[in-house]
């Protein structure tokens, strides 16, 4: 089962991708998480991507495509994977498809988590991410048991720099210009599945399970 999550920043892609990964026993591959880990570790890739991320811009395709193509060829991806935050441009999708086609493979479903822009700023200003394990919460809809502390690992929760309202606006503009066209792209190849992302996270997940069964 090879899956791609589509949707605006803050639509709930990561939340759903983690549940899919846990339920179906496949890896959750988040390019945003990979970049944040590189920034934290101070790698060369981390230094390159940070300036783009801080401005709410996409990282250039050449810094992300090979990384994902290599990752999906690892052994743990044999039974499938869920890609979260990739592809984000048509050239990224084309490169992924071309790499998969070489092995006679393809993406089974592109799940589009549909949430209108009006809800996004609220979602992202309330998002809190664990500095250690990357788990995400929402201060109102999905709060941690203890304020500011990760339920999973006990580390501190923070507001991501790029979740501040001024950057969120830019990220939404970038989404509409560069990423939204992927909805048509996956519709044309018959892989697109839309889910209503405005409902409770378990109800979103139920829609996804209906698609995957």
Q: How far apart are the first and last CA of the chain?
A: 11
Here the tokens at position 143 are 């709060």
Site for ligand ADP in 177-206 (CB under 6 A): 200-201, 204
Assess whether 164 carries a catalytic annotation: no
> Using the 8-state DSSP alphabet, how is residue 190 labeled?
T
Among residues 4, 7, 9, 205, which is the contact residue for ligand AMP, using CB under 6 A?
A: 9
Segment interacting with ligand AMP (CB under 6 A) among 20-28, 56-64, 192-200, 203-211: 56-64
Segment interacting with ligand AMP (CB under 6 A) among 85-93, 99-107, 109-117, 141-149: 85-93
- With contact defined as beta carbons under 8 Å apart, do 124 and 94 qualify? no
- With contact defined as beta carbons under 8 Å apart, do 121 and 168 qualify? yes
Site for ligand ADP in 112-171 (CB under 6 A): 123, 126-127, 136-138, 141-142
Assess whether 71 carries a catalytic annotation: no
Rounded to an integer, what distance in angstroms lies between the CA atom of residue 130 and that of residue 144?
A: 10
Among residues 3, 4, 6, 10, which is the contact residue for ligand ADP, using CB under 6 A?
A: 10
- With contact defined as beta carbons under 8 Å apart, do 29 and 82 qualify? yes
Q: Which residues, in sequence order, are CB contacts of 46 under 8 Å at separation 6+?
A: 35, 37, 38, 39, 40
- The residue (of 5 and 72) whose beta carbon lies closer to ligand ADP is 5
Q: Provide the minimum distance between the beta carbon of 5 and ligand ADP in the complex, in angstroms, as a whole number.
A: 7
- With contact defined as beta carbons under 8 Å apart, do 38 and 46 qualify? yes
Matching residue, tokens 């580390």? 155
Q: Provide the minimum distance between the beta carbon of 187 and ligand ADP in the complex, in angstroms, as a whole number.
A: 20
- The residue (of 184 and 200) whose beta carbon lies closer to ligand ADP is 200
- The residue (of 88 and 123) whose beta carbon lies closer to ligand AMP is 88
Catalytically active residues, by annotation: 13, 88, 127, 160, 171
């Amino acid at each position: 089962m090879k899956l791609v999550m589509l949707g605006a920043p803050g639509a709930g892609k990561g939340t759903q991708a983690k549940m899919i990964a846990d339920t179906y026993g496949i890896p959750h591959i988040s390019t945003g998480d990979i970049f944040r880990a590189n920034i934290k570790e101070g790698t060369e890739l981390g230094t390159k991507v940070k300036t783009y991320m801080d401005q709410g811009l996409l990282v250039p395709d050449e810094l992300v495509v090979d990384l994902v193509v290599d990752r999906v060829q690892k052994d743990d991806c044999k039974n499938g994977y869920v890609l979260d935050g990739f592809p984000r441009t048509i050239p990224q999708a084309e490169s992924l498809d071309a790499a998969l086609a070489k092995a006679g493979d393809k993406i089974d479903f592109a799940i589009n988590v549909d949430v209108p822009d009006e809800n996004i700023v609220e979602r992202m200003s309330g998002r809190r991410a664990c500095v250690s394990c990357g788990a995400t919460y929402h201060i109102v809809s999905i709060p941690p048991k203890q304020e500011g502390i990760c339920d999973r690992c006990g580390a501190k929760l923070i507001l991501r720099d790029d979740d501040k309202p001024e950057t969120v606006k830019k990220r939404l503009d970038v989404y509409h210009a560069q990423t939204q066209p992927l909805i048509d792209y996956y519709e044309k190849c018959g892989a697109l599945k839309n889910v209503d992302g405005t409902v409770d996270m378990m109800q979103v997940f139920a829609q996804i399970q209906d698609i995957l069964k």
